[in-house]
Each structure stands twice: as structure tokens, then as C-alpha cells.
Chain A
Amino acid sequence: MAEHRRSLDRPSDQPDGRRGLLGRRKVLGYLIAAPTLAVGVSWLTNESDPRAADAAVPSLPQPADIFDLGDLQNLAAAPTSGLITVQLKSDGTAYFAVPRTEVGQGITTAFAMMVAEELDLPMNKVEIALADARPELLMNQLTGGSNSMRSMYLPVRTAAAVARQRLVETAATRWGVDAAKVTTRKGVLSGPSGRTATYGSLAKLAATAQTITVSAELKDPSEFSVLGKPRNRVDGHDIVTGRKQFAMDLDVPGAKPTMVARPPTINGTLKSINNLAELRALPGITDVVGITHGVAIRGETFGQCIDAIQKVDATWGPGTVDGESDATVLAKLRAAQLPMAAPSLPLLTKTIDAEFVFAFASNSPLEPDCAIADVGPDSAEIWSCLKVPIVAQEDIAKQLGLPIDAVKVHVTQGGGSFGRHLFHDVAAEAAEISQKMGKAVKLSWSRTDNFRQGRTHPMCTSRVRVNYLAGNVLTYEQRHTSVETDFGHGLGEMITAFAADIPVGGNLSFAETIFALTQSSPYNFGVTTQLLNEIPLKFNTGSMRNIYSPNVVCAEELVVDQLAAKMGQDPVRFRRNFLKDQRLLAVLNKAAEVGSWGKAMPKGTAQGVGVHSEYRAAVATLVEIDCRPETVNRPVEGEGVTGPRVTKAVIVVDPGFCINPRGLEAQMFGGLQDAIALALTSSLHIKNGIPLEGSWDNYFYTREWNSPLDVQVVIMPNTSESPSGAGELSVAPAFAAIACAYARATGTMPTYFPINHGKLSFEPLPLQPSTPQSPTDGLDHTF
């Protein structure tokens, strides 16, 4: 192995695999150095054969190689992980309230597997719920950064193992035998002379015993019978029968349907309601009040709220970005791009310069933002899907003028998130409305609200300059410039959330820290710098699945393909030569093999490949795309877009330790569909301060007709005892692979994403009323 090749997750230096949460990686010593943006890397020369992998000019590790965002979150979570408890009920079930949010990523299933494994319980005896906001957990209640498995794998297993150990010792004491003679299997304890007891029968005794310190042992991975084996979702049955409950499905007494009529520009304000009496007299309407950003309407049905929105006559104040459109934002971004800083270079050095633009994108899930709020004079209760419930609780308490402990915040399961539920906008608004009406409300944003006023992945540009000479890449510089990404949720509590609000430093330095901790070029490209600048335009933004990586990696991989072409090398071979990381090399090779890289393809179709490492995982994606006119122009009934079709995808993932192959595969699928949307079809068009998109027939997220028929996920054998993050992992490499395939199929490198952004493919819904009336012709479209 070349010395400068690194391993993302270093092999264990202790044979028994039982290390502390943070003892694992010795990189913690790098904590102080980690958040710096000073990536002043010196370069080394190497005179080896340029055809060999060793010939690549090595790059020194970037911050994310040593200490990434997940490590920062792990460190933040460490002091409070001890508070996680598994409870055993007298019916023999184990109950675990996860201080995380389930939004489809499958963590409840994964946590149930961990508990079942270490407690020796059947899966159906494990009950997983979502914890209410627990302020005492400080930073350990944030669902994001693909960090839940990484931060909680050891603590949850430890809690379950301790519970099992307590049961064993309880049984041993009762039976007067040595604990070493007591075994557990499927929720039953067995001792000498054939004595047995169910967990349930001892649950009370174990629980009422004085707390004692138990030195539990975790199973060795070789003993696992649950972890690492494919398991279906624990909530599958509830889902397919319609029983799974989301916020809107909850029956909270008095919480009647509520919607908001909104202004025609982002964050516009209400100046006056001009027909309040008329609105209050409408059929089914119980309450109408003015709020900061609109007119809140409460009624017997959501349908009647929508009816009332059609009638609202209001005077609106300006929003926060009224003059802005795609072109004005892009001009501001270009003006803010940080300069390249390559040192003086040898004669004959050649350069590639490229700039890529990525349009605004919506992080809205399918479930429209929804929250129930019941605010009284002295207390409040909130139900909503919140990934950072502690910050929501503290913010809402402050907004309502209540002490924090007077605000109870319940976390509901989410119908997707993709970053949207990091913020509690809808919960705060529901609280505002409930307080003003003096009644409980079930607030749902409309679909149009979600696209037009909801948070977005901001427009950004990525400029790349590469200098190369005689088969070597001497410098790689990337300047990523984005509209400000709001990290106001911090790392899960007010101390870091507040840090993102501080005027000096503030969000940009926090954003730069996130950027530095997540971005890392995987190639030996000599002097490597990847820097972020953000402009403080007040769009509603936030992290979207995989944050910066889809854009940064897409830009980098497109340039890598250009470099390969300039050097006369095949894209896969070029990557093999320059990749720093053994795990990336392994997944790339596997993808090339399974996907038959280099096979003959008809004109107008092509393969493309993309690689990425993040969250301590490695992924390679190989896709095939069809850009032939008969495919691009294939018709679709009604509103919708077709365009190039990704016809095949092979995703090879090295997840470190794979907890649940079924769940991991699902996350890889989902990331692929996101990537297809980002590369080819879905974006927001900003015009005069608001997105034009108002429905799923405007915002072209991948539909069946644009999804590939042939998708294979290959999970590599475990390379670690620790799971990597998975929820966001496959977006970036798939986006890159699709872009590269498109460039190869058409002979033109795309520079503006999605590729169809230049043409508006729908008739925008009116800006007022802010939520359009529902159709009435549903019976004409049955099938």
C-alpha cells in the first residue's frame, strides 16, 4: 500500500473490539485544530512512474479526513450518552425512548435491533418510541448529519447489555447461584437444574433493587445474530394498513384544522386584514387572526380553511428578498467567490477552469409541515416532527413568554425530512396562532406554502481550478459560494444554536466549520484547498440531505472526468491512480466490475461513475444514462417532465459495520432518486422574491417514469466494527455519476444544475391566493 493512502476508519489496535465511544479514534487530539479553515497544505513531489497509483502527488489530509462532522457530534453527545436508558416492562418487553426522530431513515428498526441483540430479546418484544424534548440531554438530541447510528451504536447496546446483566444478576440472587451460570435466550433466563424465568417475571424485582454498578460486556460481532442481518422495518405493518400516525393524524382534543393565508413574497408580513368579519362568518370557520407572516384560519375541516384562504383580502408588507430572482442571486454569488491561490507553477503546466451553478432546491418532504399546539396562559404543549426538539422547546418558550419547563414538546414521526425538520418553523407558528386564538390548533402548511415559503437548499456555485503537468495533478482548488445556509439549529441546544446567531463570526463561521468538517477531496491532487463563502441573503434555507456534498462532489467529479480525458485516461482508471483511500478504491473496483464498466454502449447513451467518502463510509456509484431523442422526448401524461433517463445504477457501499442491510439498501435507493432529481429535473425558480413552484407537478422530484428499472446495491464486507452514517450517503456520488454520464453521452459537460433549469416546464400557480383551491373533477380521473 502506498504510504499516503489513508484508511477512513483505522483498523482496531485493540483486539477485543471493546473500546469507548471516543477511545476508538485517536484523532480526538485534533479537536482544537479541526474547525480551522486554514487549509494551508504544502505539496510534495514524487517522481515515480506516472502510470502507477503511487505517482499521484499526495495531498495532506484535509480536516474532514481527521475529524469530521460526525466526530464533532459524537464529541458533543459524549457527556450525556450515559443518560440513555432501556426500560424493561413486566410484560417482558423492552421500552426505549429514542432521543432522535424517525423520518423514514429506519433508525427505530436499527435501535430495536441493537436492543434485541444485546438483551437477547425477540424483535417483537422491543418497543421503540420517540422521546419528548429532554433539555437535560443538552447536545444529544439532534437528528442529522447521518449521525444517529454513529453516536448511539455503543450507548444503546451498552444500555441493553446493562439491562440484560441486571436481569442475570437478579435471577442469580433469587436462585442463589453464580451469575455466570445464568444464561439468556429470547427473553428467558435459564439457570442450573433447569430453572427458568421470563424477563417479564423479573422485571419488577430487577427494577426495584437498589441501583448497582454493572459491568456489562458487549457481544463480540462474531456472536451477533440480529445485528448485521437483514431486517424489515418495525413499523411496516402499521404503514401498509394506514395505522402509522403522523402529526396530522393525531387526535388532540380541540385542536381543529388550521391553515394560513400568506403574502406573495418570501417572509412577507401582514399589515392588515381588510375583511376580517367576512372571513369569520364563512362556513365552518371558527377563528381568524392576523399573525406575523399571514392570516391564520381555524375551522372544522382543512378544506374550509382552504376555501377561506381564497377569500382573504389582506395588505402585505415586504418580504426579505423581494427584489431577488435567479439571475440577481447568481450575480451576487459570483461577486463573492473567493480567489484562487495557486502558487507559481512550473512552465508547461496546464490548467482546467470550470464553474458550476446549482439552482435552489426544496427540502420539503411529502408530509406538509404540520404541528399541533395547545397554548394556555401558563403552559403549552406541542406535537410535531422535530429533529432538534430542545431548541424548539427553548425558542417557543421564549416566544410565548413561558418558562422552558412549562412547554412540553412531543416528537412525532415524520413523513420524510431531508433536512426540513431540523427547524421548528411550523411548530413556532402553531404556538403563535394558538396563543393568539386562545385555542388548540392543528396547523398544516399547504403544499404551496411548503415550496414557496419553506426552507430551501440555497443556490450555490462551485468553481474549480486544476493545474496538471505530465500526468500529475499539481493543484486542486475549489471555491464554493452559497447563499447562506441557516444552521440556526446548532448541534441540538441553545449554546451552539446561539453561536450561529452571533453577528460576528456567526452563521458563516459555523457554516465554514460544517463545510470543513464534511468536505474532503478523495484524490492525491497535490495542493488541495476547498473553501466556502456564503452571502447573507435572507432566503429561508437549511441543510438538505447531504448538505454541501452533492454540489461539491458533482463539480469535482466532472472535473476529474475532464482531467482523465486530457490525460488520455479512462475515468475509472484515472480514479484508481489518484484515489487516496483504500476503501474508496475497493468500492470503485467493485462498481466497475458489477456495472461492467467500459462495455460498448449505443451512441447517445453512456456510463458515468462517481465516488465519495463521508460519515466514515465509502461509496462508488456507476450509472447508465440514455440521452437519445426518443427517450428525452418521450411523452408523459399531464404536467411533468421526462428528459434523459437513468436506466441503470450500481451503488457499492462500504458502511464500516452494516447494522441492517435492508435498511442500508433502502437509504442507497433513496439517495439515488434524490440525485436523479437534483441532476436532471428538480429545482426552484426564484422570481421577484418567491419560488414559482407550487406543487409536485412543478417541482419535479423523481417519479416512477424517471426512475431506473435496474438498480443494484452491493454492500461490501464489514471493514470496521463501527457503523458509518447512511441516511445521506448516496446522494453525492450518484449526483456526480449521473452528471458525468450525461457529459459523456452528450459530449457536453453540464455546468448548470439541474440540466432542465433553463426552461420553465410548467405554468406557475398564482401567487395569490397563496394556496390554490382544490380541484373538483376527481371522479373524471379514476382508473
Chain B
Amino acid sequence: MPTHTFKLNGKQISVEAEDNVRLLWVLRDLLGVTGPKYGCALEVCKSCTSHINGKAFNPCSVQVKDIAPGDEVTTIEGLPATVGKDLHPMQEAWLKYDVAQCGYCQPGQIMAAVAKVKQAQKEGRDITDADLDELRNICRCGTYSRIREAVKAGAEDMGA
């Protein structure tokens, strides 16, 4: 069975898996990293959203062979370390606004929010409601109002 290596949450790891296995299952079933959730495996619900090289992506729709040894994969578990703190400002905002209900979508929501804010900041502007309208992450509990509040607050604390 092929061995794959890449950087996961700050550590270079190796894992044996068939080439075509989607990264979500490599993370969850083989590596025990369960923060990214399975909601559809169709790149639709976005509950597995994580980062690759700092950008949001859906590991349910990437074959493990397509991850290069130099790629950095960050899941919700590794997000705080990217800012060298116990919690990322977006996680702090999530707690402050008590965003979660069941919590199933929230790791993906937070990872998508961080990427969306970074995207706006790279363009030298604040995050807008139009940006937030582009988020496709399903929250079946319907916490959308608090997600909006928290993303805006988290964005302020993320700085430029």
C-alpha cells in the first residue's frame, strides 16, 4: 500500500493508504483526527472544511495522492497553533457569541470563516455581508445570525 507524507497540524506525518482514498477518511479513519466532520462527502455541506496551505478546502473531495509532501494541512485541531495561542481569535469569537447549537458544522464553519476573512484582508478590505452570503456551510440548527456576528468580531481580532 502506498505511503503518503504531508504536514498535518504542524507535524510531518506518514500514512499508508490507497491513493484514491479521500483525505477526509485518511484523517478520520486512519489518523483519528475527528474535528473535520462527515456531512455529505460530496463537497456540498462543507462540514469537513479544513485548510491546505492556509486556504479553505474540503478533504472529502481530495484524493490523498494529490496531497504533496510539502503541503500543510490544518484541521480545527491545529488552528490555534497557527496563531501560537490556545484558541484562535475566531474560536474566541465563536465562544463569546455562543454560536454553536449541536456543534456538528462548527469546526467547518470556523475554518471557512477564517479563510474568508483572510481573503478579504488580503484584498485590503473588511469582511462584508456579501462575503458571508457566499459561505455555503450548512448549519441545520440555523445559527446563521450568530455566525455573522462572530465572523465580524473574529475578523477584528485577527488583525490585518
> A residues near B, CB below 8 A?
103-106, 232-233, 235-246, 248-249, 251, 257, 283-284, 300-304, 306-307, 364-368, 413-416, 418, 444, 446-447, 637-640, 662, 666, 669-674, 695-697, 701-705, 707-709, 711, 772, 774-779, 781-783
A241 to B111, CA, bound (A): 11
In contact, B145 and A367 (Cβ under 8 angstroms): no
- Tell me which residues across on chain A come within 8 A of B144, comparing CB atoms: 669, 673, 702, 704, 707
Choice from A302, A638, A781 contacting B57 with Cβ under 8 Å: A781
Q: A301-B26, A774-B61 are in contact. Are A703 and B21 (CB under 8 A)?
A: no
Of the A-B pairs whose beta carbons lie under 8 Å apart in the complex, a sample of 8, sorted by A's number, is A236-B98, A240-B100, A248-B34, A366-B104, A414-B102, A416-B141, A778-B62, A783-B119
Q: How far is the CB of B29 from chain A (nearest CB, A)?
A: 4
A105 to B103, CA, bound (A): 10
A638 to B2, CA, bound (A): 34
Q: How far is the CB of B32 from chain A (nearest CB, A)?
A: 7
Choice from B38, B43, B63, B133 contacting A705 with Cβ under 8 Å: B133
- Tell me which residues across on chain B come within 8 A of A368, comparing CB atoms: 38-40
Choice from A233, A307, A697, A707 contacting B44 with Cβ under 8 Å: A697
Residue B153 is within 8 A (CB to CB) of chain A in the complex: no
A601 to B38, CA, bound (A): 43
Residue B24 is within 8 A (CB to CB) of chain A in the complex: yes
A-B contact count (CB 8 A): 236
Choice from A241, A662, A704 contacting B91 with Cβ under 8 Å: A241
- Tell me which residues across on chain A come within 8 A of B115, comparing CB atoms: 783
Output the nearest chain A residue to B115 by Cβ-Cβ distance.
Answer: A783
In contact, A777 and B104 (Cβ under 8 angstroms): no
Q: A235-B103, A367-B37 are in contact. Are A240 and B95 (CB under 8 A)?
A: yes
**Interface 1/0 per residue, B79-99 and A, CB below 8 Å:** 010000001000100110010
A234 to B132, CA, bound (A): 27
Q: A235-B103, A241-B77 are in contact. Are A284 and B58 (CB under 8 A)?
A: no
In contact, B56 and A783 (Cβ under 8 angstroms): yes
In contact, A366 and B145 (Cβ under 8 angstroms): no
Most chain A Cβ neighbours within 10 Å, of B18, B21, B30, B35:
B21
Residue B76 is within 8 A (CB to CB) of chain A in the complex: yes
Q: A673-B142, A774-B61 are in contact. Are A301 and B29 (CB under 8 A)?
A: yes
Q: How far is the CB of A344 from chain B (nearest CB, A)?
A: 47
In contact, A416 and B132 (Cβ under 8 angstroms): no
In contact, A104 and B38 (Cβ under 8 angstroms): no
Choice from B20, B23, B40, B80 contacting A696 with Cβ under 8 Å: B40
A748 to B36, CA, bound (A): 45
A415 to B107, CA, bound (A): 12
Q: How far is the CB of A284 from chain B (nearest CB, A)?
A: 6
A697 to B23, CA, bound (A): 22
Q: A696-B138, A779-B66 are in contact. Are A283 and B41 (CB under 8 A)?
A: no
Q: A240-B91, A707-B145 are in contact. List 13 more A-B contacts (CB 8 A).
A: A232-B98, A240-B107, A249-B34, A301-B21, A301-B29, A302-B25, A367-B104, A414-B102, A446-B41, A696-B40, A702-B144, A709-B148, A778-B23
- Tell me which residues across on chain A come within 8 A of B139, comparing CB atoms: 366, 673
In contact, B41 and A239 (Cβ under 8 angstroms): no
Q: A638-B136, A674-B142, A774-B22 are in contact. Are A416 and B98 (CB under 8 A)?
A: no
A249 to B77, CA, bound (A): 14
Choice from B29, B41, B59, B129 contacting A709 with Cβ under 8 Å: B129
Output the nearest chain B residue to A702 by Cβ-Cβ distance.
Answer: B142
Residue B125 is within 8 A (CB to CB) of chain A in the complex: no
In contact, A416 and B29 (Cβ under 8 angstroms): no
Q: How far is the CB of B49 from chain A (nearest CB, A)?
A: 10
Output the nearest chain B residue to A239 by Cβ-Cβ distance.
Answer: B103
Kindly identify, within residues 1 to 57 of chain B, every residue whose CB is under 8 Å from any CB belonging to chain A: 17-18, 20-26, 28-30, 32, 34-45, 47, 52, 55-57
A781 to B134, CA, bound (A): 13
- Tell me which residues across on chain A come within 8 A of B23, comparing CB atoms: 778
In contact, A232 and B66 (Cβ under 8 angstroms): no
In contact, B55 and A366 (Cβ under 8 angstroms): no
A16 to B17, CA, bound (A): 67
A265 to B115, CA, bound (A): 41
- Tell me which residues across on chain B come within 8 A of A639, comparing CB atoms: 44
Output the nearest chain A residue to B34 by Cβ-Cβ distance.
Answer: A249
In contact, B145 and A711 (Cβ under 8 angstroms): yes
- Tell me which residues across on chain A come within 8 A of B145, comparing CB atoms: 669, 707-708, 711
In contact, B47 and A366 (Cβ under 8 angstroms): yes
Choice from B32, B44, B116, B146 contacting A695 with Cβ under 8 Å: B44
Residue B143 is within 8 A (CB to CB) of chain A in the complex: yes
Residue B110 is within 8 A (CB to CB) of chain A in the complex: yes
In contact, B133 and A704 (Cβ under 8 angstroms): yes
Most chain B Cβ neighbours within 10 Å, of A240, A257, A674, A776:
A240
